[in-house]
Structure 1
Amino acid sequence: MDLSGGLTMHDNTVQSASGPLHRPPRWLDAQRLRAYAAFVLLVNIGYLSLRIWLGSIDPVPNVSPPGWDFAVFWSASWLALHGPAVNAFDTALIEPIALPLQNMLPSPFVTPWTYPPTFLLVMLPAALLPFQVSCIAYVSAGIAFAFKACARILPPARDLSWWLPVVAFPAIWVTVGAGQNSFLTFGLMGLGLVCLERRPWLAGILFGLLAIKPQLGLMIPVALLFSRNWRTFLSAALSVGVFCALSGFVLGFGTFARFAEALPNFNQFVVQYSDRWPRGILTVFGTARQLGVAVPTAYLLHAVVAALAASAVAWIWATRASFELRASALVLATLLVPTYLMPYDLLLLGLPILWLVRDGARNGWIRGDGAAMVSAWLSPLVSYTPGNWAAGAYVPFIIFALLLVVVRRYVARRPEHANERACTVAAEERSSAR
């Protein structure tokens, strides 16, 4: 998250109604950022080490060791390998396998299997290996995939210390601790966007594979349709269809029916406990419920913010803003639209942070950009707070603030974007004439 090192910043400024673009403030220079990142990295390592000690070495009841969410994935895999795959959706069957792995007693907050058959297909081989070995293998592969996406976003630098803020990003450690699939979704979203302009068919395939977690793909069709990326849209649609068909043939098409039944049950469960969820649900809906707002009003407030986020994506993608701003807006809206979001999902925040670093290093900064980005970078730390704090109530405000940063940067450089769009249209017309 180095805002000044590793990339070259132009000296010129751009005047606009939103204020000039200029160099980052002194408190965000490379040396200070690396010092802050080193401190946060120690906090991350300390928390994970505490989890290992209290969850595995000297177990304390209801303190889960690393891989507590992967325990559900592994248990679903075991059930699918040793019987009909639909058994994975049976909470009565999955809890006796998952709870001992999680070091948990029966609790209303135990996570059932609520993922689609597409993700069950990805996880199917997991139980062929012992739980600990399988968890390490899946998480390691996910980390490698996610860092491949990071390397494609930020160019090579002589000084590799700019990787320190990346490695110290708290969401990485939260995801490692949970054993979640966020590294996979991060890589699919990041590489899909990176490939969008030069390899649209491959981008569509990567977007289609996000069918493992459909709620994270809701904004992609909006962006593709308003930007007229027809090839990518078609490729994504075909990829989803093939992925679902393959899942049905391998696992049985009855798994889709059970998944459809599991969704409303899980939604009812979320609504029932939404006002006392540990650390809060990291959405506008979750924040409203934590503040005592009635369920219908909470849904209404969430819908308003989701509509604003979707409108921002449609506008920025339709007007062909710079790639960094378009990609950032899409990812941030992806985090604002679902009503259910957990700390490990905040790994996706790394993408707009990286793209805004690249955009800011090239074009300068507006006052307040740095504070919003640092707040977003720190936001996954809510996972380390006591459950009764409901610290996650602040997260949707931080995400929305970062989306406003993207919009403001677009408005500040709108004449420049208009010139770029005119040149692009002219080039397309010349190409068509040939």
Structure 2
Amino acid sequence: MLQSRRLYQAIGIVGATLCLTVTLILLMPRLLLWSVLPDFTVFWTAARMALDDAPKVYDTIALTGQQAWAVDPSRGPRPFPYPPTTLLFLIPFGLLPFWAAYWSWLAVSALAFWSAVRRVATGWAAPLALCTPHVILVLILGQTTLIVASLMIWCLSLVEKRPRLAGALAGIAAALKPQSVLLVPVALVSGRHWTALGFFLGSLSAVVIASFVLGPSAWGEWVAALGRFRDAIEWHGLYRLGATPSMAGHVLGMAPTAIVALQFAGVIASTGAVWLAFKTDDLKLRLSAVVIGSLLASPYGMRYDLATLAPVLTMGLLSGTLQGLLIAAPLFALNSLSILPALMVSLIASLDQQHRRAREPR
């Protein structure tokens, strides 16, 4: 029994190392072609613009022009797709010079995520969670994922004993990145966490009301900008980096009605999965259902959003059991840049494109 446990742990460590190595090999050439911190540059610039004229943040041309110091505007539009509530959290960083803001953001993200990881993972699984491929990518990009992940992990780990705090944290996460917590209301209703649900709605409403200090027209400008954000996704080819049913449908060239049907199926499946997960007391299962379910239910989501699952996956890899290894190893590979389903979708789309070109008259 002891030998089997050590063998499974060794396989898990080797598998994680292999995934991380492959990811870094794939990532480094892309980093050399990227502009300076492509995501945080958008956040920092939007925060600085919001200090003077928040509605102007959703003017894609103006925001792209303000980033010209770091990114040539000819490389395409660089919009800010987040709601005005997100700006409230970013404005303090906009008061700092760029690099001071970036390293401060990095420190906040890493410390917050580390505090949350320890609620889920123990032993070597905790530090290993900080070394998973997407956690590294999120830190490099300066994305919001780790902060939102921290809020969600703390929420789910406290919902039984401190429902008021748990609900408030989930509301803040929703204000920061709405698509990441789409199924939280379903989860709280399924688990009959009525107090947490009330504080979730209350804290989210409070942040929305507070965001009106940025100007009442900011919300209207944000809604109008969402359509232009779809144009930016197509320009930069971000559909191939997506992790949602509708984004996969776009890559495959499916008809609009088929994409809608695929997305609807994702909503139904994810709602059912979250509902069933919150009939149990298993924190890892609940967290996995909320994260994967939100991606299935959302029309837009990127692969790095799976970084939230890092502590769950590392616990499975180091559990020393065959069951944990069989479940965590494929998901850990899914958690890297080389996500197998996404690669298959990209491969199929590329082969189809080559086939069409071959049939074109010369």
> TM-score per shorter chain, which class?
0.7 to 0.9
262 and 352 in structure 1: CA distance in 2 versus 1, 3 angstrom threshold: farther
* Unpaired stretches in structure 2, ≥5 consecutive residues: 347-362
Task: State the one-letter code of the partner of 1:334.
Answer: S
- Answer with 38-47 or 164-173: which moved more: 38-47
205 and 365 in structure 1: CA distance in 2 versus 1, 3 angstrom threshold: farther
Which of residues 50, 53, 57 is equivalent to 1:80?
A: 50
- Answer with 193-202 or 296-305: which moved more: 296-305
Matches for 1:183-194 after TM superposition, within 5 Å = 183-194=146-157
SS at match of 1:132: helix
Query: How far 1:344 moved relative to its partner?
Result: 2.3
The residue that corresponds to 1:124 in the other structure is 91
Asked if 1:370 corresponds to 2:325, the answer is yes
Contact 1:171-1:346 within 8 A present in 2 as well = yes
Which of residues 195, 200, 225 is equivalent to 1:262?
A: 225
More helix per residue? 2
Query: How far 1:383 moved relative to its partner?
Result: 6.7
The residue that corresponds to 1:142 in the other structure is 109
Task: State the one-letter code of the partner of 1:243.
Answer: V
- Residue by residue over 1:134-173, the C-alpha shift from the partner in whole angstroms, topping out at 9 and shown as x without a partner, is 1111011111101100012124x3xxx4445323210111
Matches for 1:243-392 after TM superposition, within 5 Å = 243-249=207-213, 251-267=214-230, 270=233, 277=238, 279-317=240-278, 319-350=279-310, 352-353=312-313, 366=323, 370-382=325-337, 391=343
1-side partners of 2:17 and 2:62: how far apart?
43
The residue that corresponds to 2:10 in the other structure is 31
104 and 173 in structure 1: CA distance in 2 versus 1, 3 angstrom threshold: farther
Task: State the one-letter code of the partner of 1:117.
Answer: P
Task: State the one-letter code of the partner of 1:87.
Answer: K
Contact 1:37-1:165 within 8 A present in 2 as well = no
203 and 133 in structure 1: CA distance in 2 versus 1, 3 angstrom threshold: same
2-side partners of 1:106 and 1:25: how far apart?
57
Which of residues 38, 45, 58 is equivalent to 1:89?
A: 58
Contact 1:224-1:232 within 8 A present in 2 as well = yes
- Residue by residue over 1:238-295, the C-alpha shift from the partner in whole angstroms, topping out at 9 and shown as x without a partner, is 000111112212x12221221122223324654x569x54634221112222222112
Asked if 1:69 corresponds to 2:39, the answer is yes
253 and 127 in structure 1: CA distance in 2 versus 1, 3 angstrom threshold: same
Contact 1:80-1:88 within 8 A present in 2 as well = yes
The residue that corresponds to 2:354 in the other structure is none
The residue that corresponds to 2:357 in the other structure is none
Task: State the one-letter code of the partner of 1:153.
Answer: V
1-side partners of 2:246 and 2:103: how far apart?
34
2-side partners of 1:112 and 1:28: how far apart?
48
1-side partners of 2:228 and 2:3: how far apart?
48
* Unpaired stretches in structure 1, ≥5 consecutive residues: 1-10, 12-22, 55-61, 395-434
The residue that corresponds to 2:75 in the other structure is 107
What is the TM-score of this pair, normalised by structure 2?
Answer: 0.83
Task: State the one-letter code of the partner of 2:167.
Answer: G
2-side partners of 1:323 and 1:163: how far apart?
15
The residue that corresponds to 1:218 in the other structure is 182
2-side partners of 1:28 and 1:252: how far apart?
60
Query: How far 1:232 moved relative to its partner?
Result: 0.1
Query: How far 1:175 moved relative to its partner?
Result: 0.4
2-side partners of 1:123 and 1:94: how far apart?
15
Contact 1:86-1:258 within 8 A present in 2 as well = yes
SS at match of 1:100: coil
1-side partners of 2:342 and 2:284: how far apart?
32
Two-structure CA RMSD over aligned residues (Å) = 3.2
Task: State the one-letter code of the partner of 1:93.
Answer: A
Task: State the one-letter code of the partner of 1:336.
Answer: L
- Structure 1 vs Structure 2: percent identity of aligned residues? 26
127 and 48 in structure 1: CA distance in 2 versus 1, 3 angstrom threshold: farther
Contact 1:38-1:168 within 8 A present in 2 as well = no
281 and 323 in structure 1: CA distance in 2 versus 1, 3 angstrom threshold: closer
2-side partners of 1:296 and 1:311: how far apart?
23
Query: How far 1:40 moved relative to its partner?
Result: 4.7
Which of residues 187, 196, 202 is equivalent to 1:232?
A: 196
SS at match of 1:84: helix
Query: How far 1:199 moved relative to its partner?
Result: 0.6
What is the TM-score of this pair, normalised by structure 1?
Answer: 0.71
Contact 1:280-1:392 within 8 A present in 2 as well = no
2-side partners of 1:235 and 1:354: how far apart?
31
Structure with larger Rg: 1
- Residue by residue over 1:80-105, the C-alpha shift from the partner in whole angstroms, topping out at 9 and shown as x without a partner, is 12x2111111112111222432x445
Matches for 1:171-190 after TM superposition, within 5 Å = 171-190=134-153
1-side partners of 2:168 and 2:25: how far apart?
38
Query: How far 1:303 moved relative to its partner?
Result: 1.2
> How many residues are paired up?
345
Contact 2:291-2:306 within 8 A present in 1 as well = no
Contact 1:312-1:329 within 8 A present in 2 as well = yes
